[in-house]
Amino acid sequence: MGDVAMTVPVLSSLAKQCNVEITVLTMKAFAPMFANIPNLTVFPLDKKGKHKGFFGLLRLRHQLKKFNFDAIADLHNVLRSQILKSMFVFDEAEFAVINKGRDEKRDLITFGPTKQLKSSTERYKEVFEELGFTFNIEFDSIFDQKPKLPEIFTEVFGEKKEKWVGIAPFAKHTGKIYPLEKMEKVVASLCLEPNIKLFLFGNGEEEMQILSSWTSKYKSAHTMPDGVRLPEELILMSHLDVMLSMDSANMHLASLVGTPVVSIWGATHPFAGFLGWKQSEENIVQIDLACRPCSIFGNVPCKRKDYACLNWIEPEAIVSRILKNLE
């Protein structure tokens, strides 16, 4: 989801500055991120159903061929997209494929964070430049103006009167997750502050059980009401004063609605190019260790066995940075 979110500033700028119709092949669940981009249609990929496996890709190719594309941009460059691309080799469409900078990222892990690499949004833009499009990335939010809070929120939380802080404590890989016992201390400290309401973001039964245990202890902390989906979450995020997130999808979702994000980095490093769109480097929380980064995606087990990159970050440092954004 984070990778897909980072395409939005590029595709929005392309659509608004160039005479082009865009079809985005992506998961149906990600479509709300593209809802307000003109001349853009989402074609839903069903990779667990009718588009699963080689024969599923053949079916997908048959469906896509009807569009008679002038150009195809591969922004993912993985085996599935490479196979799909090979099925179009005899068509007249131009192709361009993202350069993910894998060698540079390998050097980042081997030699340490010596320089900032290109951001993913820059790399996506280069794909379209290769196809002959000229444009600047000009993007602030997926919303032209801040949308009204849906009733599903106002009925539970009321109208906004306090400072609203979002906390998204989870990520796909352990190397990206701040220790939950320390994150609870962050929640507890913020709940002691006057005039602050916390919104906790999570997915799945296990995550929601953890968040519910926090809300039972801290009256200023709240989880999402039942029935909330991505479109509503994006609207809520646009009303937050600040979001606290790992190096994960929620950092990028908050970035798409112009909300400042305090981001925690452990095994990964912002120099790899995955910092949220227009996010301030001042809001990065990390510590310097000789073994950082040990992974681009946070999916490598800690060689030290102690995840010092995360465990050595004190809750007070995180709380201080959040409060700074609320001044």
Statement: residue 86 has pLDDT above 80:
yes
Rg (CA), the chain: 21
Under 8 Å between Cβ of 175 and 298: yes
Give the confidence band of 89 by pLDDT, cuts at 50, 70, 90: low
Statement: residue 20 has pLDDT above 90:
yes
Under 8 Å between Cβ of 260 and 325: yes
pLDDT digits (tens, 9 = 90+) for 180-211: 999 999 999 999 999 999 999 999 999 999 99
Instruction: Give the whole-angstrom CA distance, residue 184 versus residue 30.
Output: 29
The CA-based angle 212-215-217, given to 5 degrees, is 115
Burial of 289 (0-12, 13-18, 19+ CB in 10 A): middle
Statement: residue 27 has pLDDT above 90:
yes
pLDDT digits (tens, 9 = 90+) for 284-296: 999 999 999 999 9
pLDDT digits (tens, 9 = 90+) for 221-241: 999 998 899 999 999 999 999
Instruction: Give the whole-angstrom CA distance, residue 260 versus residue 237.
Output: 10
Q: Which residue has the tokens 């950082």?
A: 292
- pTM metric for this prediction: 0.94
Instruction: Give the whole-angstrom CA distance, residue 232 versus residue 211.
Output: 19
